[in-house]
Amino acid sequence: MQTYYKKPFWVKAKGRPRYNDEGEVTGIHGVFIDIDKEKTKELALENSLKKIEHQKNRLQNFAHIVSHNLRSHASNFQLTLDLFDMTNEEAVEDKADLMNSLSDIAGNLNQTLTDLNEIVAVTHKSIGNKKAIRIQDVYDKVIHTLKNEILEAKADIFVNFTEFPEVDFIEPYLESILQNLLSNALKYKHPDRNASIQICTYLDDDKGCLLIKDNDLGIDLDIFGDRVFGMYQTFHNNANATDVGLYMTRNQIEGLGGTIKVESIPNKYTTSTIRF
């Protein structure tokens, strides 16, 4: 219900019907009980439990990534070193190849550690660093960074931020999110057509939303739906495909209390909707 001053509050309605002599209901006799404090605490507890469950799932996923990927790098190191020790001293070319393999493994390990450190930084970033940001300003910066890719894809980009022009967010995160989503739209463009990208903001139940839709190769969500935001997941064979973009994007959005949803049909379109 609402108070006289339009402030909403929770009540419990308790009553019973009133009948006339013919047994017809003519009204209701009862009371409204103010349960606002109790209900607010209950909703806060439910929200906390949801956050705990979400954090638990993220922690389990992170632990799996650490154990799987680091163990894989360690195994490759050990196997290559064993082969190096077993190789005859005269086999100079073989030893050189093994040394190159060790260098590649070290580079991959370093990249994995960099990715994991970035994920940890996102997870623990202080919400206090949020500030009002003009989305157009961040978009202009991203477009400048991607100008060569846009020209190569012959992309048409349609933008409208009028309904929701500003958002309270961390600016480097918003820049990273826009760059990841736009970069994917350009990388995975359909080979038979130019890239066409629509970007707009709007309000939904007083919540600001950012929508990015493109006509790329799309993703078969019936097959890959539960893996779209997984780390080290790719769904196309592009040589320049990245493995952590969508994972990082979701972490940056959810780390600041938002959500992201992806809808896609193969060979038709992909739509990403961010709810801040």
- The full DSSP string for 224-271 is HGGGTT-TT---S--TT--SSHHHHHHHHHHTTT-EEEEEEETTTEEE
* Average pLDDT of the residues of the chain: 80
One domain, residues 105 and 135: no
Please give the backbone phi and psi of residue 69, each rounded to the nearest 5 degrees, phi first.
-75, -40
Q: Please, are residues 105 and 73 in contact by the beta-carbon 8 Å criterion?
A: yes
Q: Is residue 44 part of a domain?
A: no
One domain, residues 223 and 205: yes
Please give the backbone phi and psi of residue 220, each rounded to the nearest 5 degrees, phi first.
-80, 95
Q: Is residue 39 part of a domain?
A: no
Q: Please, are residues 166 and 135 in contact by the beta-carbon 8 Å criterion?
A: yes
Q: Per-residue pLDDT averaged across 105-124, rounded?
A: 68
From 106, 123, 140, give the residue that closes a domain.
123
The gap from C-alpha 154 to its chain's centroid, in whole angstroms, comes to 27
pLDDT band at 58 (very low <50, low <70, confident <90, very high): low
pLDDT tens digits, 195-231? 899 999 999 888 899 999 988 877 766 655 555 665 5
One domain, residues 68 and 138: no
* pLDDT in the model for residue 259: 87
One domain, residues 193 and 149: yes
Helix or strand or coil: residue 124?
coil
Q: Is residue 27 part of a domain?
A: no
One domain, residues 201 and 258: yes
From 123, 138, 164, give the residue that closes a domain.
123
pLDDT band at 148 (very low <50, low <70, confident <90, very high): confident
pLDDT band at 238 (very low <50, low <70, confident <90, very high): very low
Q: With 70 as the cut, is the pLDDT of residue 274 above it? A: yes
Model's pTM, two decimal places? Answer: 0.56
Supply the range of the domain harboring residue 161.
128-275
* Number of domains forming the structure of the chain: 2
* pLDDT in the model for residue 194: 85
Domain CATH code at residue 234: 3.30.565.10
